[in-house]
Structure 1
Amino acid sequence: MTHLQGKTVVITGASSGLGYEMARLAAKEGARLVLLARRLERLELLKETIESDCGVSDVLIYSVDVSNKNDVEKVFAEILSRCGQIDVLINNAGFGVFDYAHEARWEETEAMFQVNVLGLIACTQMVMPYMQARQSGHIINIASQAGKMATPKSSVYAATKHAVLGYTNSLRMELARDGVYVTAVNPGPIATDFFTTADPSGAYAKNVGRWMLQPEKVAKAIIQVIGTNKREINLPKWMNAGSIFYTLFPRVVERVGRKAFFKK
């Protein structure tokens, strides 16, 4: 018996990258998976792969845009009706666009907040009452090291991740009274197709390529802490140490690291 045996785990943004790897590992741990993303065809392929590789036959998939609150409410109502309960919610859906603040397009700014922040809150609000009533559950929000230390050309993206961390930290204290765990995940850059949208030029991915995390490693760290009262996951450790140093000595970090920060 594995630690997720029989648990219903909902993952948003599950069609590729980190979401894909978390889904695969959760299935191997015995979870009953519910996978959400906009791209239904990618979800169908993921469902086939997981059911074949992991010997399961009950992976549920839903096409949903988390920025649409009505769609979120409809889908989660159906999930709760079919599954009875949701034990774990992993809010993974999100995207970024790297632009200088004065060049940021309003439609992209609005879309990032709709998906990264409001979509995450909408999904969370759909599961909270049920977890509180059962006095158990785990909500995992994928934030970013950018939510701890902003850098040039990521002002809007960093702002959304700062918002995610603020929401998560408050939520953690509120739900602790009800026995519900809340974990923030703050990874550095991950080798996924995130950068296809964030930086079409490929410059940033090239500059930080040697430091990029592999999605399998991040996914493993997340799946391992499900069901434990883990406050945060910070990867890589050296980058998180930089974020802590920045909190203590912001002027020093901004002055010394200015040249490196502009490599986007």
Structure 2
Amino acid sequence: MNLTDKVVVVTGGSAGLGEQICYEAAKQGAIVVTCARRINLIGQVKEKCQALSGKEAYAFQLDISDPDNVESVLGKISDEVGPIDILVNNAGFGLFEDFVDFDLDVAKKMFDVNVLGMMYFTQKVAISMVEKQSGHIFNVASMAGKMATPKSTVYSATKFAVLGFSNALRLELRPANVYVTTINPGPIATEFFDKADPSGSYLDNLGSIVLDPQKLAKVIVNKMGKPTREINRPLIMSGASRFYDLFPHLGDFLASGLFNRK
């Protein structure tokens, strides 16, 4: 797809992968709309997108777990920007902790953000995409939704839900010429792990397997407008997830050892 003047909306666009997706889309001439809770950061992303694209960009404060706020933001996008051509559902958070010690209030919040909020936002956008018979929805899931590891019980559960939702939605929207792509990254060098792993040791333990958010963002943006089922990175973890499905008992051994660095 030629992204010139296409409206690209990115949730969780204040930092990390979401921020880099905004920049890569802007480089290709898109009209970028970045949404996140941290208004000061999305303002900076907006300004950089404008410099990269030479076009107007937009920033809206969004708490995706609040349906009223979602309605308000989507109304502003409709009034001030126009129909959404591409939606990237990137908002989400994780916490790596043994389930027996997990605060279930945090678990509920994680489902509200990672799953229910994403679904609510997506439904509103999908309705308009179906009406105009075009669009592309990207849902950021995770390798944790394909191959769970210790201390990722709740986070993995939310990402398994994102995968199941996306796989069904892809089939439902296909007749309307609306594409649905899931993005399944392994660990990315972003501030996501400031909350997920306060010890700071997880990324250090993984070494070269950690993904560069800018490189992954380029891959994602280059798939916009193309009927792509999944984007899986890094390739070694993608291969391991397939192995996990074929040989589940051995997969459990690998998931609890080789890919468990929490």
TM class by smaller structure: over 0.9
The structural deviation recorded for 1:260 is: 3.2
**TM-score (normalizing by structure 2):** 0.97
> Aligned partners of 1:224 and 1:55: how far apart in 2?
16
> Aligned partners of 1:197 and 1:256: how far apart in 2?
25
Match of 2:96 in 1: 98
Match of 2:196 in 1: 198
Match of 2:32 in 1: 33
Q: Is the Cα contact below 8 Å between 1:152 and 1:261 reproduced in 2?
A: no
Match of 1:134 in 2: 132
Match of 1:187 in 2: 185
Match of 2:18 in 1: 19
Q: Is the Cα contact below 8 Å between 2:110 and 2:158 reproduced in 1?
A: yes
Match of 1:107 in 2: 105
Q: Secondary structure at the match of 1:217?
A: helix
The structural deviation recorded for 1:12 is: 0.2
The structural deviation recorded for 1:257 is: 4.6
What residue ranges of structure 1 are gaps of 5+ in the alignment? none
Q: Secondary structure at the match of 2:242?
A: helix
Correspondent of 2:62 among 32, 54, 64: 64
> Aligned partners of 1:46 and 1:140: how far apart in 2?
20
> Aligned partners of 2:9 and 2:109: how far apart in 1?
22
Q: Is the Cα contact below 8 Å between 1:175 and 1:181 reproduced in 2?
A: yes
**TM-score (normalizing by structure 1):** 0.96
State yes or no: 1:235 paired with 2:228: no
Which shows bigger deviation, 70-79 or 167-176?
70-79
Moved over 4 A (4+): none
State yes or no: 1:176 paired with 2:159: no
Gap change, CA 1:71 and 1:249, over 3 Å in 2 = same
The structural deviation recorded for 1:205 is: 1.5
* Letter in structure 2 aligned against 1:32: I
The structural deviation recorded for 1:225 is: 0.5
> Aligned partners of 2:259 and 2:70: how far apart in 1?
36
What residue ranges of structure 2 are gaps of 5+ in the alignment? none
* Letter in structure 1 aligned against 2:5: G
The structural deviation recorded for 1:51 is: 2.1
> Aligned partners of 1:184 and 1:117: how far apart in 2?
13
* Letter in structure 1 aligned against 2:184: N
The alignment-based identity, stated in percent, is 47
Q: Is the Cα contact below 8 Å between 1:91 and 1:142 reproduced in 2?
A: yes
Q: Secondary structure at the match of 1:172?
A: helix
Offset from partner CA, 1:82-105 (integer Å, 9 cap, x none): 223110000000110000110111
Correspondent of 2:214 among 196, 213, 216: 216
* Letter in structure 2 aligned against 1:8: V
Offset from partner CA, 1:85-140 (integer Å, 9 cap, x none): 11000000011000011011112111110110011101101111111011100000
> Aligned partners of 2:254 and 2:163: how far apart in 1?
26
Task: Give the total of aligned pairs.
Answer: 262
> Aligned partners of 1:245 and 1:50: how far apart in 2?
40
Match of 1:46 in 2: 45
* Letter in structure 2 aligned against 1:187: P
Q: Is the Cα contact below 8 Å between 2:85 and 2:135 reproduced in 1?
A: yes
> Aligned partners of 2:166 and 2:136: how far apart in 1?
12
The structural deviation recorded for 1:261 is: 4.5
The structural deviation recorded for 1:259 is: 2.9
Q: Secondary structure at the match of 1:22?
A: helix
Which shows bigger deviation, 94-103 or 42-51?
42-51
Match of 2:256 in 1: 258
Match of 2:9 in 1: 10
> Aligned partners of 2:183 and 2:259: how far apart in 1?
22
Offset from partner CA, 1:194-229 (integer Å, 9 cap, x none): 100000011212211321000011101100000000
Q: Is the Cα contact below 8 Å between 1:36 and 1:61 reproduced in 2?
A: yes
